[in-house]
């Protein structure tokens, strides 16, 4: 149901009925995606098709289809541009079997979370709330129960306590203030993104937001000095995980 915004007026001592202002709902959008995730100008060379349908001015449903036309995923969003999930999120195998089902409320997983094998056998079931954290059921492909393990495990840094704070501390220890930046009195916060690969290596380092050329270079160099990680995992398999670290340069 579309939201309406009401504005009441009092004119000449007489009550006037509130005027309803209908919000603008963007039109549906179809995009063609290549194997790297880039949007193509047409369907030529497309690996998949993405259809966005708005239900209000910012939220709606984004569905992805394989080249064959089969539905691959469906994401409900409270805010599509900001990628705030809200509602049902589901994914499917190429054979049409449901592979993933979850519910989100304001970008937080809630309710029952399920993962399936391609043969339809339930692989994982858990309740996503604080009372059930770290618990659930996992099954083998033949249906036999197996030890429960967390669906998502973040990479662990090989220094300090292994947390993201340990990563930030390591980067800051590596920072060297460039002489030309000191002379120019340049300071500020540089944001650098990188990925931890499925082998635990640091890769794809780039400046997301810079402040001064030599400071940006120094920030990238500091991230390049990071030690290896224990890779992150999703559903028990090593995966690539993205990070963004803020690096503050301040002249005392």
Q: Is the per-residue pLDDT at 150 higher than 90?
A: yes
Cβ neighbours, 10 Å, residue 33: 17
Q: What angle do CA 100, 137, 128 make, to 5 degrees?
A: 60
Crossing angle of the two packed helices 164-174 and 213-224, in degrees rounded to 10: 120
pLDDT grade for 36, boundaries at 50, 70 and 90:
confident
Question: What percentage of the chain carries pLDDT values higher than 90?
Answer: 86
Mean pLDDT of 31-35: 93
Q: Place 23 in a pLDDT band, splitting at 50, 70 and 90.
A: confident
pLDDT tens digits for range 54-86: 999 999 999 999 999 999 999 999 999 999 999
In the predicted model, what is the mean pLDDT of residues 118-134? 93
- For residue 21, pLDDT over 70 is answered with no
The pLDDT value recorded for residue 15 is 41
Decide if 115 contacts 123 (C-beta within 8 A).
Answer: yes
Residues 6 or more apart whose CB falls under 8 angstroms from that of 130 comprise none
Check residue 16 and give its pLDDT: 42
pLDDT, position 14: 37
Read off the pLDDT of each residue in 26-48 and give the average, rounded to a whole number.
93
pLDDT digits (tens, 9 = 90+) for 152-209: 999 999 999 999 999 999 999 999 999 999 999 999 999 999 999 999 999 999 999 9
Q: pLDDT per residue over 41-53, tens digit each?
A: 999 999 999 999 9
Identify the structural domains of the chain with CATH numbers, from first to last: 29-149 (3.90.930.1), 156-249 (3.30.2420)
How far apart CA 14 and CA 16 sit, in angstroms, is 6
Q: Is the pLDDT of residue 1 over 90?
A: no
**What integer pLDDT is reported at residue 196 of this predicted model?**
97
Taking 70 as the threshold, does the pLDDT of residue 132 lie above it? yes
For the residues 11-30, what does the mean pLDDT come to?
64
Question: In the structure encoding, which two tokens stand for residue 152, read together?
Answer: 């998502």
pTM score of the predicted model: 0.75
**Does residue 26 surpass a pLDDT of 80?**
yes
pLDDT at 130: 86
Mean pLDDT across the chain, nearest whole number? 90
């Amino acid at each position: 149901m579309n939201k309406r915004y009401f504005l009441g007026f009092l004119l000449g001592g007489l009550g006037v009925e509130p005027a309803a202002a209908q919000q603008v709902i963007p039109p549906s959008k179809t995009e063609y995606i290549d194997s790297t995730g880039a949007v193509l100008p047409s369907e030529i060379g497309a690996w998949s098709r993405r259809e966005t349908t708005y239900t209000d001015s910012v939220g709606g449903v984004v569905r992805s289809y394989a080249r064959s036309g089969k539905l691959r995923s469906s994401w409900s969003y409270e805010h599509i541009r900001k990628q705030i999930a809200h509602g049902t999120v589901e994914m499917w195998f190429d054979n049409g079997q449901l592979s993933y089902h979850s519910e989100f409320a304001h970008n937080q997983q809630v309710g029952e979370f399920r993962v399936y094998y391609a043969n339809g056998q339930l692989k994982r079931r858990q309740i996503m709330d604080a009372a059930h954290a770290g618990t659930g059921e996992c099954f083998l492909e033949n249906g036999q129960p197996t030890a429960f393990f967390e669906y998502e495990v973040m990479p662990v840094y090989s220094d300090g306590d292994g947390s993201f704070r340990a990563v930030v501390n390591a980067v800051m220890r590596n920072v060297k203030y460039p002489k030309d930046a000191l002379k120019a009195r340049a300071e500020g916060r540089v944001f650098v993104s990188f990925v931890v690969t499925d082998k635990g290596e640091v890769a794809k380092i780039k400046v997301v937001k810079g402040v001064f050329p030599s400071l940006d270079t120094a920030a990238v160099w500091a991230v390049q000095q990071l030690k290896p990680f224990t890779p992150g995992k999703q559903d028990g398999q090593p995966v690539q995980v993205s990070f963004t670290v803020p690096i503050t340069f301040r002249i005392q």
